[in-house]
């Protein structure tokens, strides 16, 4: 088995942990980062290299085996990958300052249908397969259009906020971009391959911790408190809507102490996660969807509006809060910053390196 085949096998089997602190494995990843048609042609031209093969898949192998023999291979690749002008979005000529301003035009965060499914699957399940009369379908066209718009607007917001946050990392001198957009690697920090995940503090994790502290879910606890004062919510509403309704009704009647107590519980859970991030990290790895599973090194940026967690989505554009946190993290990054994480997914054992940057308002 050649070295290329070895690392290809490890990559495909999700054993990304074996790539850490291995010069040959890093070479494999960095070669993969330039192996797209335009990128590889430019890299070869910049470094006076030629390949005999023509297909990208074959060029990937040939370039790796060629660079394996050169002592300056990693330096050549680093020099090319450090040039942000080689990235897709940079080539598109994105006006980042205007983009940051435009993000504030998004005034609400509402998914088109079920955010766990793709839009087409949702529309088929919600409308196509349950409505047999065309007139009824026609009469719901505005509702369908609104669902599609919400999906597109939220997807747009998530895409471009993630791009801008990722760019904050890539501008730092200790970071090298994986310009070819390798699956499982967004960039390298001091030669550690890292996949960036930007997220709000996960609601399900919060719910699990609330259950441990209160012996019941937040919704059940609010229902019990509301019952004491004759306050109820529509049982047919979603859990989130019921929580909102009960909270608003309790506040209307002046029961601030109840909501403040629940908010204190939530704040304590956030602080505990900050003080012991390993528990949250393992939860994030083990609660991935099967289709999106990955065991690569991950750096999580967790965004929290502790004054109102339902508004945490706005934190993705709060660059005045995000940028200094990222800058400080990278300035003080060491070989010990990424923690060794061991977890089980679908009865399979995995290892990775990971850490969390919390940005809390």
User: Each residue of 169-215: pLDDT tens digit?
Assistant: 999 999 999 876 688 899 999 999 999 999 999 999 999 999 999 99
Q: Please determine, for residue 116, whether its predicted confidence score (pLDDT) is greater than 70.
A: no
Q: What is the mean predicted confidence (pLDDT) over 349-359?
A: 96
Give the E-state strand segments of 167-293 in sequence order. 175-177, 187-189, 192-200
What pLDDT is stored for residue 83 in this prediction? 79
What pLDDT is stored for residue 292 in this prediction? 80
The separation between CA 47 and the C-alpha centre of its own chain, rounded to angstroms, equals: 34
Alpha-carbon torsion (265, 304, 293, 341), positive or negative: negative
Tens of pLDDT, residue by residue over 211-228, are 999 999 999 999 999 999
User: What gap in Å lies between CA 175 and CA 82, rounded to an integer?
Assistant: 8
Contact 165, 157 (CB under 8 A): no
Dihedral over alpha carbons 303, 197, 350, 190 (to 10 degrees)? -110
User: What gap in Å lies between CA 329 and CA 356, rounded to an integer?
Assistant: 10
Question: In terms of Cα–Cα distance, which of 156, 261, 276 is closest to 205?
Answer: 276
Q: Which residue has the tokens 């023999």?
A: 69
Q: Please determine, for residue 261, whether its predicted confidence score (pLDDT) is greater than 60.
A: yes
What pLDDT is stored for residue 85 in this prediction? 63
Give the E-state strand segments of the chain in sequence order. 175-177, 187-189, 192-200, 298-304, 339-345, 348-360
Q: Please determine, for residue 93, whether its predicted confidence score (pLDDT) is greater than 70.
A: yes
As a whole number, the mean pLDDT across the chain is 91
What pLDDT is stored for residue 182 in this prediction? 80
User: What gap in Å lies between CA 150 and CA 292, rounded to an integer?
Assistant: 23
What pLDDT is stored for residue 1 in this prediction? 87
Q: Please determine, for residue 281, whether its predicted confidence score (pLDDT) is greater than 90.
A: yes
What pLDDT is stored for residue 37 in this prediction? 86
What pLDDT is stored for residue 89 in this prediction? 63
What pLDDT is stored for residue 111 in this prediction? 75
Q: In which band, very low, low, confident or very high, does the pLDDT at 113 lie, cut at 50, 70 and 90?
A: low
**Partners of 339 in the beta sheet?**
354
- Per the document, the length of the chain is 361
Contact 294, 303 (CB under 8 A): no
What pLDDT is stored for residue 114 in this prediction? 63
Phi/psi at 108 (5° precision): -150, 160
Higher pLDDT, 88 or 213: 213
User: What gap in Å lies between CA 246 and CA 219, rounded to an integer?
Assistant: 9
What pLDDT is stored for residue 291 in this prediction? 77
What pLDDT is stored for residue 179 in this prediction? 78
Distances, alpha carbon 361 to alpha carbons 306, 313, 316, in Å: 6, 12, 12
What pLDDT is stored for residue 238 in this prediction? 83
Q: Please determine, for residue 86, whether its predicted confidence score (pLDDT) is greater than 70.
A: no
The answer for residues whose C-beta is within 8 angstroms of residue 225's C-beta and 6 or more apart is 246, 250, 255, 258
Higher pLDDT, 293 or 92: 293
User: What gap in Å lies between CA 90 and CA 198, rounded to an integer?
Assistant: 21
Question: In terms of Cα–Cα distance, which of 119, 123, 109, 203 is closest to 157?
Answer: 109
Q: Please determine, for residue 306, whether its predicted confidence score (pLDDT) is greater than 90.
A: no
User: What gap in Å lies between CA 172 and CA 190, rounded to an integer?
Assistant: 11
Q: In which band, very low, low, confident or very high, does the pLDDT at 358 lie, cut at 50, 70 and 90?
A: very high
Q: What is the mean predicted confidence (pLDDT) over 8-36?
A: 93
Question: In terms of Cα–Cα distance, which of 315, 276, 348 is closest to 198?
Answer: 315
What pLDDT is stored for residue 205 in this prediction? 95
Q: Please determine, for residue 115, whether its predicted confidence score (pLDDT) is greater than 60.
A: no
Tens of pLDDT, residue by residue over 143-178, are 999 989 999 999 999 999 999 999 999 999 999 998
Q: SS3 of 259, please?
A: helix
CB-side neighbour CA atoms (13 Å) of 325 = 18
Question: In terms of Cα–Cα distance, which of 48, 20, 53 is closest to 35?
Answer: 53
In percent, how much of the chain has pLDDT > 90? 75
User: What gap in Å lies between CA 301 and CA 231, rounded to an integer?
Assistant: 38
């Amino acid at each position: 088995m050649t070295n290329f085949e070895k690392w290809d096998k490890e990559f495909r089997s999700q054993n990304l942990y074996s790539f850490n602190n291995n010069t040959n494995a890093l070479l494999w990843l960095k070669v993969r980062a330039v192996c797209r048609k335009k990128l590889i042609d430019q890299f070869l031209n910049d470094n006076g290299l030629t390949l005999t093969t023509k297909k990208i898949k074959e060029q990937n192998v040939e370039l790796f085996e060629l660079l394996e023999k050169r002592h300056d291979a990693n330096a050549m690749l680093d020099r090319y990958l450090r040039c942000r002008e080689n990235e897709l979005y940079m080539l598109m000529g994105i006006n980042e300052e205007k983009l940051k301003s435009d993000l504030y035009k998004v005034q609400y965060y509402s998914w088109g249908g079920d955010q766990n499914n793709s839009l087409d699957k949702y529309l088929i399940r919600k409308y196509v397969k349950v409505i047999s009369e065309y007139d009824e379908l026609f009469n719901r066209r505005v509702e369908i259009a609104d669902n599609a718009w919400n999906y597109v607007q939220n997807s747009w917001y998530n895409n471009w906020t993630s791009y801008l946050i990722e760019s904050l990392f890539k501008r730092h001198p200790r970071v090298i971009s994986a310009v070819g957009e390798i699956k499982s690697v967004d960039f390298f920090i001091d030669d550690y391959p890292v996949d960036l995940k930007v997220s709000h503090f996960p609601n399900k994790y919060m719910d699990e911790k609330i259950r441990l502290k209160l012996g019941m879910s937040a919704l059940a606890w609010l229902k019990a408190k509301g019952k004491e004062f004759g306050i109820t919510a529509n049982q047919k509403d979603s859990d989130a809507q019921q929580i909102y309704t009960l909270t608003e009704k309790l506040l209307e009647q002046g029961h601030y102490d109840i909501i403040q107590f629940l908010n204190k519980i939530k704040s304590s859970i956030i602080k505990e996660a900050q003080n012991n991030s390993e528990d949250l990290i393992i939860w994030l790895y083990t609660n991935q969807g099967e289709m999106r599973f990955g065991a690569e090194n991950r750096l999580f940026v967790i965004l929290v509006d502790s004054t109102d967690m339902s508004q945490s989505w706005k934190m993705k554009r709060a660059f005045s809060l995000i940028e200094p946190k990222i800058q400080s993290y990278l300035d003080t990054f060491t070989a010990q910053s990424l923690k060794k994480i061991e977890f089980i997914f679908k009865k399979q054992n995995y290892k990775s390196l990971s850490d969390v940057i919390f940005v809390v308002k």
